[in-house]
Amino acid sequence: MTTFEALIKNRRSIRKYLDKPVETEKVDAILRTALMSPASKRANGWEFIVVDQRNTLVKLASCREFGSKFVADAPLAIVVAYDAEKSDVWYEDASIAAIIIQLAAADLELGSCWVQVHNRAYNETTTSEAYVRDILQIPDNKHVLCLITLGYKDEERKPYDEEKLAYDKIHYNQY
């Protein structure tokens, strides 16, 4: 198995982190890879907000009604935002950058988890996106796709079992 295959097989969503900060060098390396992410027409409309202040992480943990509480205990999160005026495929470009952040983290033996923000609700009247924008003072013309938590793993997840992969989802030449 190549190193990339092993990386993909072993990268799993991690929601429990050790109470240990991520070194600046590792954060910088992850951000460098994010800045190399492919983007349609090389628009590079993505922007990344690194959050490592505990009180801000606690606020961000409430960005959705369900599934984001663990953000409060993460050492840091990277918010993936995008200027939609730069590209009509901002969602795709930002998604590529987000997964590259996760793969770079896994390569550095860090855990990560994607927390979807776009098209999610903070409550009945406020979107998760508006909530995050307000906390981080992100301009209204920027979309917030997700936040990626990062840290040293405090849980172990089994690698993907290749025997259980959905090979029936693969089609050749026609459906």
Cα-Cα-Cα-Cα torsion 132, 135, 136, 137, nearest 10 degrees, comes to 100
Q: 1 pLDDT exceeds 90?
A: no
Domains of the chain, residue spans: 3-156
pLDDT at 171 over 90: yes
pLDDT tens-place string over residues 101-143: 999 999 999 999 999 999 999 999 999 999 999 999 999 999 9
- Supply the DSSP string of 16-55, one letter for each residue: -B-S-PPPHHHHHHHHHHHHT---GGG---EEEEEE--HH
**Is residue 70 within 8 Å of residue 113, measured between CB atoms?**
yes
CATH class of 3-156: alpha beta
pLDDT for res 128: 98
| pLDDT of 152 strictly over 70 | yes
pLDDT digits (tens, 9 = 90+) for 34-72: 999 999 999 999 999 999 999 999 999 999 989 999 999
Bridge partner residues of 51 (DSSP): 77
% pLDDT > 70, the chain: 99
Residue 59, phi then psi, degrees to nearest 5: -65, -45
d(CA 18, CA 14): 11
